[in-house]
Amino acid sequence: TTVKQLHRTVYHFQPPKHWINVSLFLASSFSFPPGAFENRTIDPNGPMYYNGFYHLFYQYNPKGSVWGNIVWAHSVSKDLVNWEPLEPAIYPSKPFDIKGTWSGSATIFPGDKVVIYYTGIDAKEKQLQNYAVPENPSDPYLRKWKKPKEGNPMVVPDNEINGSSFRDPTTAWQANGYWHILVGSRKNDVGVAYLFKSKDQKTWVKTPVPLHQVPGTGNWECPDFYPVSISGKTGLDTSELGNDVKHVLKVSLDATRYDYYTIGTYFPDQDKYVPDKGQADGWDGLRLDYGNFYASKSFFDPVKHRRIVWGWSNESDTKQDDVKKGWAGIQLIPRTVLLDPSGKQLVQWPVEEIETLRGQMIHKSNHKLETGKPVKLSQGITGAQADVVVTFSIPNLDKAEPFDPSWKDPQDLCFKKKSVQGAIGPFGLMVLATEKLEEFTPVFFRIFKAKDNKPVVLMCSDEEHSTLKTDVYKPMYGGFVDVDLADKKLSLRSLIDHSVVESFAAGGKTIISNRVYPTVAVFEMAHVFAFNNGTEPITLERALLCL
Ligand code: DQQ
């Protein structure tokens, strides 16, 4: 017997099947033998560009689709679209990592010297930081890695450090004559990013005070610390400093399983990072993605001078079905990351290479969206794999409902307004939708008006009707979109791929990623609609559907 794969993604990274130059139009209902994808991918590790190849490592269980037996699986690509799987690069083999090789990062030191820092779990379940280097640096694939005796384990937890929450070393950066790395941790409920300094990249000394710590946030996993350019449109290498530079500190909060970041100033001479005024530090902070996205990691791509961030999206299907499907976890489409001109947040956008997958295109323009009358965009084709780009124009902002300043949490607000018709919105897209809307995943906006008449834009996505399955986690997600709507336009791009929807509002200011498991809205039965359920008219100014 074979398992019909309704939900396996086609152009999102999954091991070991790689997607080879497929057009997004690959709608046939293919089947895989059971056990063919016995695996689970989680955190992206050590992404880098080296010697002609992009490398992606990831936390991987080669033995099953639940967490365990963690190794660093390894794939390479020339274009971030077509991936070639290689054998695992790092796996338990030494006393300092015998119980697991957990997350970490790659650094390319001057002279093209590649080093991987990762967390090893020793026989006593203690978390240690180790390093690995290529066995043969001239092998362009960097297939084999060794863990030199000298200098390993590299950093062991001292008395102050909680040895069971001490992991995920960052890429190293240089400042003030030293190399630096962060390691995520906690002191009771205080989230901590420990800072270590080194002259020789091997012997590391902890600074007296951590680079940053925030009470009440719990364990910090997978920290990421990097510069962004204030005035430029290109990404920066990890050691860039200067007047035109701000820094980003991202941490993955174990307690909520979301990736939060702040923008701030790094003071290398004081070993200190201070978030800018107005940047919420902790659970109320900005998120890289307001949906299913965790343990992200960025790297600098020297070829296209961009910083790229990778994030992992977990299944929200039942464990049982994960095992039945034989795979679990995907990597979301890598995104370029830049500082927004406001200086107050980041903007992320799918790497341009993904557009090479675009095949058939359907255009629609200037379409009035009448209240309660959805417009089908995927006429005569499947919407199970698509790249949808739409721009809405909002003729009448005056009619927007007043915004209550006590509405702080966007996700709560999406809930609160769930069955309330608004004036401006809800309007947006319904994706992975059946003709008669038995199943659909809406991604939509509601617009309010603040006291000063400025618009407040809320983005929501509601998984309640995403599947007829009852035992699946179907959250509501929400985020605010910081735009002034001066031109009365709001854009939305959704990347749809069977069980994943990644939606980018206003050019990448706010992002929500969903994992959904339709049972009828599959393959050629899956459609894309634009809709407006608010009382005020909205125009679908432009829609582009690429399959
Ligand atoms: N997953 C890894 C850890 C990391 C966590 C273990 C985040 O290193 O803290 O597989 O998902």
Would you list the DSSP string of 469-516? -SSS---EEEEEE----TTSEEEEEEEEETTEEEEEETTTTEEEEEE-
Cα–ligand 1 centroid distance for 221 (angstroms): 7
Give the phi and the psi of residue 223 in degrees, each rounded to 5.
Answer: -65, 150
Q: Which atom of ligand 1 is nearest to the CA of 70?
A: 10
Cα–ligand 1 centroid distance for 119 (angstroms): 9
Q: Compute the half-sphere exposure of residue 329: CA atoms within 13 Å on the CB side of its CA.
A: 22
- Quote the CA–CA distance of 334 and 314 in Å, as a whole number: 16
pLDDT of the residue at 3? 55
Q: Which atom of ligand 1 is nearest to the CA of 104?
A: 8
- Quote the CA–CA distance of 84 and 79 in Å, as a whole number: 11
Residue among 43, 168, 462, 497 flagged as catalytic: 43
* Annotated catalytic residue 43: yes
Task: Evaluate whether 289 touches 411 at the Cβ level (below 8 Å).
Answer: no
Q: Is the CB of 97 under 6 A from ligand 1?
A: no
Q: Is the CB of 167 under 6 A from ligand 1?
A: yes
Q: Is the CB of 186 under 6 A from ligand 1?
A: no
Token pair in block for residue 364: 């629609």
Q: Is the CB of 40 under 6 A from ligand 1?
A: no
Q: What angle do CA 381, 382, 387 make, to 5 degrees?
A: 105
Q: Is the CB of 259 under 6 A from ligand 1?
A: no
Ligand 1 pocket check: which of 39, 41, 102 to mutate, most ligand atoms within 8 Å of Cβ? 102
Cα–ligand 1 centroid distance for 43 (angstroms): 7
Domains by residue range for the chain, with CATH: 3-353 (2.115.10.20), 358-546 (2.60.120.560)
Q: Using one digit for the tens of pLDDT, what is the confidence trace for 288-330?
A: 999 999 999 999 999 999 999 999 998 888 878 877 777 788 9
Q: Which one, of 265, 181, 242, 188, lies nearest residue 220 by Cα? A: 188
Count of C-beta atoms within a 10 Å radius of residue 361: 11
- Quote the CA–CA distance of 428 and 445 in Å, as a whole number: 6
The widest CA-to-CA distance across the chain, in whole angstroms, is: 69
Token pair in block for residue 242: 């200067």
- Quote the CA–CA distance of 43 and 332 in Å, as a whole number: 11
Give the phi and the psi of residue 324 in degrees, each rounded to 5.
Answer: -65, -45
- Quote the CA–CA distance of 298 and 47 in Å, as a whole number: 7
Q: Is the CB of 248 under 6 A from ligand 1?
A: no
For the residues of 108-168, what is the DSSP string, one character each? EETTTEEEEEEEEE-TT--EEEEEEEES-TT-TT---EE--STT-S-B---TTS-TTSEE-
Q: Which atom of ligand 1 is nearest to the CA of 294?
A: 11
Cα–ligand 1 centroid distance for 533 (angstroms): 41
Q: Which helix (H) or strand (E) holds 322?
A: helix 319-325
Q: Is the CB of 295 under 6 A from ligand 1?
A: yes
Cα–ligand 1 centroid distance for 399 (angstroms): 47
Cα–ligand 1 centroid distance for 279 (angstroms): 26
Q: Which atom of ligand 1 is nearest to the CA of 103?
A: 8
Q: What angle do CA 437, 488, 362 make, to 5 degrees?
A: 45
Q: How far apart, in Å, are the Cα atoms of 486 and each of 63, 458, 482?
A: 53, 16, 12
Task: Evaluate whether 33 touches 44 at the Cβ level (below 8 Å).
Answer: no
- Quote the CA–CA distance of 205 and 197 in Å, as a whole number: 5
- Quote the CA–CA distance of 371 and 350 in Å, as a whole number: 31
Q: Which residue has the tokens 């949808």?
A: 388
For the question of an ipTM over 0.85, the answer is yes
Q: Which one, of 174, 201, 466, lies nearest residue 317 by Cα? A: 466
Task: Evaluate whether 522 touches 491 at the Cβ level (below 8 Å).
Answer: no
How would you write the pLDDT of the chain (547 residues) with one tens digit per residue? 355 688 888 888 876 532 322 333 332 333 333 333 345 668 999 999 999 999 999 998 877 666 777 899 999 999 999 888 888 999 999 999 999 999 999 999 999 999 999 999 999 999 999 999 999 999 999 999 999 999 999 999 999 999 999 999 999 999 999 999 999 999 999 999 999 999 999 899 999 999 999 999 999 999 999 999 999 999 999 999 999 999 999 999 999 899 999 999 999 999 999 999 999 998 889 999 999 999 999 999 999 999 999 999 988 888 788 777 777 889 999 999 999 999 999 999 999 999 999 988 999 999 999 999 999 999 877 899 999 999 999 988 999 999 999 999 999 999 999 999 999 999 999 999 999 999 999 999 999 999 999 999 999 999 999 999 999 999 999 999 999 999 999 999 999 999 999 999 999 999 999 999 999 999 999 999 999 999 999 999 999 999 8
Q: Which atom of ligand 1 is nearest to the CA of 42?
A: 11
